[in-house]
Structures are given as structure tokens and as C-alpha cells.
Amino acid sequence: MRIMLADDHTVLRQALARVLASRPGIQVVGEAANGAEAVRMASELLPDVVLMDISMPELDGLAATARIQAQGLPVKVLILTVHDREEYLFKALQAGALGYVLKETDMDELLTAVRTVAKGQVYVQPAMASKLVADYLQRSSAKGGTGDASDTLSAREKEILNLIASGYTSAQIASQLVLSINTVRTHRDSIMSKLGLHNKAALIRYAVSKGLTDQTE
């Protein structure tokens, strides 16, 4: 897996590069010190994943992410930041990032996030995802009969949606709710169908676009 780092804190970036490069199957192919450089290097190096900080000079990480996505590059972006406010997460998802992890996370979780994003799947740190879903469901409920597609979700589907966004696997959800894995998968498919979406990333972006504070599946 080819990784590129974008962070204006040189010591942190270089230390992270050394740790990642020491892990099997990971190659750090480049380091950018600002957003503009990150966009240029991403187009030249075409890494599998860019670990992107948000607060950087010249061009911030959110704008850099949007530019990378606008170019149609086969590059996935994982935001690695100190910002733990939901507004940054929403903006990151809107910009096209597939993952959002706080810098305080441990290396095992960061590696899980990198590998998940490299597969084209969404990874949002469970603590952040839980906040999103709780707010989304609260606002969805408060809307009442507004005709929004999310209003068609059953109580069970919302419960499963909440657990999915909190990082639970289908097997763990089945165990917690005393359901079969097939039943959980059926509910998951029903959620996607009702919202007219086809993958986890689309589901998150749907909620963001609705300004509901978003949810996750």
C-alpha cells in the first residue's frame, strides 16, 4: 500500500512516516508540507491513500482534498487531524474524504482506518460517528412528517444504523440485538434501499447534504 503524508508539522510528519514505513505492506511515497504541495504530489505520485491534515498553509486540507477529488484521481483521502468538532467532519466528507481520524488515536486504529479507506470504504472514528448519528436521529425525529426519505426508517433500522456508525460489525450487532447476521444484513440493505443509496460513503454524504448533521452506515 502506497501512502502519502500531508502535514505542516515536520517533526510529527517525519515521525509518522517512519512508523508507517516500518509496518509490513506499507510504503511511504511522499511527504507534503502544505495543501498545495499535497495536491501536486498526489497527482504525480498517485498514492493509494493520502493522510491529510486540515490546518495547513497555502491551501488547507479540506480544499486540497476537494481538488484531488475534482481531478478524478484514483487517490483516497483520510483526514488525520486534531479537530474533533462535527463541522470539520461534515466538511471533510463533503470534500470527498473517505475517512476521519483524530491525531490522538493509537497506531492500531490508524492502520485500520488506512486499510479501510484504501479499499474504498468509509472509516469514521467511532467516537465521532456516534455523535453524528445521535444528532442525525434527533433531528430526523424532530422533523416529523416532512417527507424526508429518512422518515421511512423503522425504529429497528435506526437502531442498527446507530450501531453501524459506531463501528460495530454485522456479527457484533447481531449478538447485541439477539438477531441473526442475515437479519442484520437485511435491515442494512433496507436502509440503503429506502434512502436510495448504494454504499456507506453515499449514506454519510446523504446525511451531510441534508444538513441533518449526518449519519453513517
User: Residue 140 is part of which domain span?
Assistant: 128-209
Q: Both 184 and 134 in a single domain? A: yes
Q: Both 153 and 77 in a single domain? A: no
Q: Both 179 and 198 in a single domain? A: yes
Q: Both 172 and 154 in a single domain? A: yes
**pLDDT value, residue 213:** 31
pLDDT in tens, 82-94: 998 878 888 888 8
The dihedral over CA atoms of 201, 202, 207, 211, expressed in degrees to the nearest 10, equals: 100
**pLDDT value, residue 134:** 61
Number of domains in the chain: 2
| Domain stops at, among 124, 139, 157 | 124
pLDDT in tens, 37-79: 999 999 999 999 999 999 999 999 999 999 999 998 899 999 9
This prediction has a pTM of: 0.67
**pLDDT value, residue 62:** 95
Q: Both 120 and 150 in a single domain? A: no
- Is the pLDDT at 197 greater than 90? The verdict is no
Q: Both 90 and 38 in a single domain? A: yes
**DSSP-derived 3-state class of residue 59:** coil
Residue 217 counted as domain residue: no
Q: Both 20 and 75 in a single domain? A: yes
Question: What CATH number should be reported for the domain holding residue 156?
Answer: 1.10.10.10
